[in-house]
Structure 1
Amino acid sequence: MSKIIIKETQNTAILKFEFPDFITKNKSYEFKNIDEASESPLAQKLFYLPFVKTVFISGNFIAIERYNIVEWNDVKDAVAEQIEEFITDGGIIINDSTLEIKKKPITIYAESTPNPAVLKFVANKILTTKTAEFKNIDEAFPSALAKELFKFPFVKEIFMDENYISITKYNSSEWQEISNEVRMFIKAFIENGNEIINESLLSTATKSEKQSISNFDTLDTTSQQIINILEEYVKPAVQADGGNILFDSFDETEKRVKVVLQGACSGCPSSTFTLKNGIENMLKDMLKDEAIKVEAINA
């Protein structure tokens, strides 16, 4: 199997171990101890580790909450290796056929972003495995949740990725007046079992195709290097702020890199500063080319 990817979360006690494919069928599980995990052989095995407090299994990842007796940096690689060995040896992650599914409470919390017009609503479950940006209700047909959110008169744009939704508001309303209403609506919508998004209906824009595996190898070497830098060093930071960045193009003659900013990054007052003083300087340094220029285009 492909190597597991280890990812940090906003909770320093919880670490995610991501698989290349889905390991559950649209269900999420939470185990607090070895008895609760009787139908998950992998979770049972993990509970033999003295620092494992809680095991979450959902989508394409296993998240583990640790006790404070250890630091993740000391044990995370060994845990990933143990999980990989378990799967390689034919171990079962979840016995879906016999497990009694408990309805998992949904929690939603609001998080500020560098863009004052955008608020990030974070869920305790995966909402989508693909990024999705909707500028209006007509574009939102793949997502029942987004369509309902656009019925609020103050909702201008919606961006969805992994476990969060970034909402851009019109200036006619202030977040302190409307954030709780939006948060409770999203929570109720998900808890009632409504479909969040039909990923098969998401169209693939040309700018996104340029970053797909099938097209990556056809790009020039510099464009490939730029994409790798954006993916590894820039994207995690902008995603944490409720946004996203996509490579659009590189002009070798003008040394101009064009990128697309989405979500909270789109229209953010600080985005120009970020482009010029952050991304542009990083590319100049890592590509050893002081002539590099970065320009944002509309999504």
Structure 2
Amino acid sequence: MIHAPIIQVEQTPNPDALRLLPGVSLLKGPPVEIAPGDAAAQAPLAAALLAIDGIDRIMIGPDFVTAVRRSAEFPWAALKPQLLAELADFLFSGEPALPASLLPAPPPPAEGGLVAQQIVEVIERYVRPMLARDGGEATLLRFDAETGIAYVRMGGACGGCPSGRTTLKQGIEQAIKRYVPEVTRVESALEEPEPGGDPRARVRSWIAARWPRFNPAAARSSSS
């Protein structure tokens, strides 16, 4: 007799994200965030979940799946049964959550030399397990040795979460600064100016990184 899988559902600090716990191992290695159009979206589990109207992206972790909806216009009361049904069907199939051929290539080493390597180790050992409990993830993009700022990209339930700033400052930053004294501050990668962008925006961001009370919006309006 085949028993139906027991899938636990947990709310996350992000009202637009839900964490599903199937009680089995899904993936070896760090969580993988998947959006429509990604190569990994071709995997059966990802394809089924992303096909649900209202689901924006998912993240598959070692023993959990985080589903992120597009907005509150798609109530969880309607999405949750569909997510559970698709995940249960996948568990019965016996297929891998992410075939090796669809696993994304590992990201390039974060910029910042030895200090960046130390930050990555702290994230893997202390930060990642903490965020995984809420269906989230964090990745170091680079460390700026001149300013001591580590730029981190947050994903899963942490991406777009209303309490993401609190998690970044009270969770991630404190953990990294405790073990890597060279780090003065941790900021979201979204706050880092993109190379080749508006040079005025880069200058404003550079100033804001050093003087937090600086208001880029006010500077833009006064210069126009």
Residue matched to 2:56: 156
Residue matched to 2:203: none
SS across alignment from 2:28: strand
Task: Identify the match of residue 147 of structure 1 among 42, 47, 53.
Answer: 47
* Residues 283 and 292 in structure 1, CA contact (< 8 A), matched pair in contact too: no
String of CA shifts for 1:249-283, please: whole Å, max 9, x gaps.
11101211011211111111111112123322333
The answer to whether structure 1 residue 117 and structure 2 residue 16 are counterparts is yes
* Residues 155 and 167 in structure 1, CA contact (< 8 A), matched pair in contact too: yes
Residue matched to 1:204: 105
* Residues 117 and 168 in structure 1, CA contact (< 8 A), matched pair in contact too: yes
Paired amino acid for 1:121: L
Distance 1:222 1:195, change over 3 A: closer
Task: Identify the match of residue 185 of structure 1 among 86, 89, 104.
Answer: 86
Paired amino acid for 1:116: P
* Residues 122 and 165 in structure 1, CA contact (< 8 A), matched pair in contact too: yes
String of CA shifts for 1:64-117, please: whole Å, max 9, x gaps.
xxxxxxxxxxxxxxxxxxxxxxxxxxxxxxxxxxxxxx8675221211111110
* Residues 35 and 41 in structure 2, CA contact (< 8 A), matched pair in contact too: no
The answer to whether structure 1 residue 269 and structure 2 residue 147 are counterparts is no
Residues in 2 aligned to 1:275 and 1:187: alpha-carbon distance in whole angstroms:
33
Deviation at 1:221, TM superposition (A): 2.8
* Residues 137 and 146 in structure 1, CA contact (< 8 A), matched pair in contact too: no
Residue matched to 1:288: 181
Residues in 2 aligned to 1:126 and 1:285: alpha-carbon distance in whole angstroms:
31
Deviation at 1:285, TM superposition (A): 3.6
Residue matched to 2:35: 135
SS across alignment from 1:274: helix
* Residues 172 and 186 in structure 2, CA contact (< 8 A), matched pair in contact too: yes
Residue matched to 1:52: none
Aligned residues: 188
Residues in 1 aligned to 2:97 and 2:178: alpha-carbon distance in whole angstroms:
41
Please, what TM-score do these two structures have when normalized by structure 2? 0.74
| Structure 1: gaps spanning 5 or more residues | 1-101, 212-217
Deviation at 1:186, TM superposition (A): 1.1
Residues in 1 aligned to 2:38 and 2:170: alpha-carbon distance in whole angstroms:
36
Residues in 1 aligned to 2:82 and 2:178: alpha-carbon distance in whole angstroms:
45
Aligned ranges 1:1-299 → 2 under 5 Å = 105-130=4-29, 131-171=31-71, 172-205=73-106, 208-210=107-109, 220-289=113-182, 292-297=184-189
Q: CA RMSD in A?
A: 2.4
* Structure with the bigger percentage of strand: 1
- Give aligned-pair identity as a percent: 27
* Residues 112 and 142 in structure 2, CA contact (< 8 A), matched pair in contact too: no
**Relative contact order higher in (CA < 8 Å, ≥ 6 apart):** 2
Deviation at 1:170, TM superposition (A): 1.7
* Structure with the bigger percentage of helix: 2
Deviation at 1:166, TM superposition (A): 0.3
Residues in 1 aligned to 2:38 and 2:117: alpha-carbon distance in whole angstroms:
34
String of CA shifts for 1:138-167, please: whole Å, max 9, x gaps.
544441111111111111011001121100
SS across alignment from 1:128: coil
SS across alignment from 2:176: helix
Q: If you compute each CA radius of gyration, which structure gives the higher value, 1 or 2?
A: 1
